[in-house]
Structure 1
Amino acid sequence: MLEVLTNPNGFFKRKSNEDVEFKTPLIIIAILAIVGAISAFIITQSIMGTLPEEAAGFAAIGAAFGAIAAFVMTFIMWIVFSGIFYLISMIFHGEGDFKRVLEFVSYGYIPSILNSLISTYFTSNLYSNIDWATQDPQALQETLLSDPSLQIAGIIGILFTLWSANIWLFAMVHSRNLSVRDGAITVGIPILIYIIYTLYQLRIFGA
């Protein structure tokens, strides 16, 4: 399966001759969902350590709900991104079943597992050093956005997203019978929007 990270074109070309299977995709998404849930819990725990004792109980409940939400959202986003790619590929008269798209798109989330671990390290360290109880929302936002660790995590996240995009490109080429050009446009449109939004949030450009 590591071949998909280094040679996605060859990997999906071979997989396209096999029957659709969801065992491996579900394992990939489940691992990412578990990592995301743990990350959400760890980050919330970091915040809890700076809160007054009376607020800690509510934060604990929030940590549990946050972990559950992160787990569920991972599966939802898998389906949503697969659907977006599928719909855009229709412009290029793509041919292929949505189940195949769903299967192949899952492999593009493998880099996200490592990215989630790295992001958790940076954000938990950042959040644990902030006094959440005393800062007003505006000052808190400025503190977060001015911290270089958040921007580093954001840039690393973009790099991993581009890695995923390269995998998704060939996933769409072979699941929807597209040319490389059409596959690049299919994947590139939503990914470009996501990257621009991320850069804006990090204030790397724009105010």
Structure 2
Amino acid sequence: MYRELKELLFSPDVFFTQKKKEKIDLLIPAIIILIGSMIGLISSFAIGDFLNTVELRHISVILTPENFLVLLLKPFIAWFLLAGIFYCFCRLWSGNGSFVETLQNTGYGALPLTIFTVFPIIDGIFINSNVNMPQMVGLGTVIFFDLLMLLFVLWSGYLWTYAMERSHEIAHEKAIVSAAIAVLLYLIYHLVNNLGIINLFLH
């Protein structure tokens, strides 16, 4: 398993070429998404605790059964939507892979994003232990983690390029375009989703 994950992260061309020869299996991609989802829930607790600590309860993260379910399912919804986007573009490029195969390899390609979900917890712990830090320091950590997030998103984009190229047997350039569009959509979503945190330090 370790060898396969290392191959996925650092030699995606080899990994997805091999996957093309194997039977489609959604179990491991689903586990990758589930781990990211669970860590995301823990991050929500960390951020919520920070907001309460600095007396910003009006924008605190309160986990009710309803939004617990939303936070848990959101990565899975994003997985299916992203796979749908990939599938549509690859069909546009005259690709021949199935949606299920696209779903499988989109999940594998999300591994760097799942790894990154650990960092917001570290960020939350750091901020909680330094509640009296200057605003610019707090803003600096937000920007630092956003830049780190960008690297991991691009890493996933790199994996998705080979995933779509091998899944649909399309030209490498077309696979790059498909992955670039997915990365751009993710970054737009992340930017909109995190403007509130940045504004928190600016006011």
TM-score (norm 2): 0.80
User: In the superposition, relative to structure 1, how do residues 77 and 148 fare at CA in structure 2: closer, same or farther (>3 Å)?
Assistant: same
CA–CA distance in 1 between the matches of 2:189 and 2:31? 29
Q: Structure 1 unaligned runs (5+)?
A: 132-142
Q: Classify the secondary structure of the residue corresponding to 2:169.
A: coil
User: In the superposition, relative to structure 1, how do residues 47 and 144 fare at CA in structure 2: closer, same or farther (>3 Å)?
Assistant: farther
1:113-139 deviations in Å (ceiling 9; x for gaps):
2211112322454477669xxxxxxxx
Q: Classify the secondary structure of the residue corresponding to 1:63.
A: coil
Q: Classify the secondary structure of the residue corresponding to 1:95.
A: coil
Kept in 2, the 8 Å contact 1:38–1:67? The answer is no
Name the counterpart of 1:100: 101
1:85-108 deviations in Å (ceiling 9; x for gaps):
111112211111100000011111
CA–CA distance in 1 between the matches of 2:54 and 2:187? 32
Kept in 2, the 8 Å contact 1:46–1:127? The answer is yes
Task: Kindly provide the amino acid, as one letter, of the partner of residue 82 in structure 1.
Answer: A
Match of 1:188 among 171, 180, 189: 180
Q: Do structure 1's residue 72 and structure 2's residue 64 form an aligned pair?
A: no
CA shift, 1:184, in A, is: 0.5
Name the counterpart of 2:45: 41
CA–CA distance in 1 between the matches of 2:41 and 2:188? 26
Name the counterpart of 2:171: 179
With 40-49 and 89-98 compared, the bigger mean Cα shift is at: 40-49
Q: Classify the secondary structure of the residue corresponding to 2:8.
A: helix
CA–CA distance in 2 between the matches of 1:16 and 1:89? 16
Q: Do structure 1's residue 14 and structure 2's residue 6 form an aligned pair?
A: no
Name the counterpart of 1:63: 63
Task: Kindly provide the amino acid, as one letter, of the partner of residue 118 in structure 1.
Answer: F
Kept in 1, the 8 Å contact 2:41–2:72? The answer is yes
CA–CA distance in 1 between the matches of 2:80 and 2:137? 31
CA shift, 1:36, in A, is: 0.8
User: In the superposition, relative to structure 1, how do residues 69 and 45 fare at CA in structure 2: closer, same or farther (>3 Å)?
Assistant: farther
Kept in 1, the 8 Å contact 2:42–2:121? The answer is no
Task: Kindly provide the amino acid, as one letter, of the partner of residue 85 in structure 2.
Answer: I
Query: Between Structure 1 and Structure 2, which shows a larger proportion of helix residues?
Result: 2
CA shift, 1:194, in A, is: 3.9
Q: Structure 2 unaligned runs (5+)?
A: none
Name the counterpart of 2:143: 151
1:19-42 deviations in Å (ceiling 9; x for gaps):
111111111111111111111122
Kindly report the root-mean-square deviation, in angstroms, between the aligned alpha carbons of the 2 structures: 3.0
CA–CA distance in 2 between the matches of 1:33 and 1:198? 15
User: In the superposition, relative to structure 1, how do residues 199 and 50 fare at CA in structure 2: closer, same or farther (>3 Å)?
Assistant: closer
Q: Classify the secondary structure of the residue corresponding to 1:147.
A: helix
Task: Kindly provide the amino acid, as one letter, of the partner of residue 121 in structure 1.
Answer: I
CA shift, 1:199, in A, is: 6.8
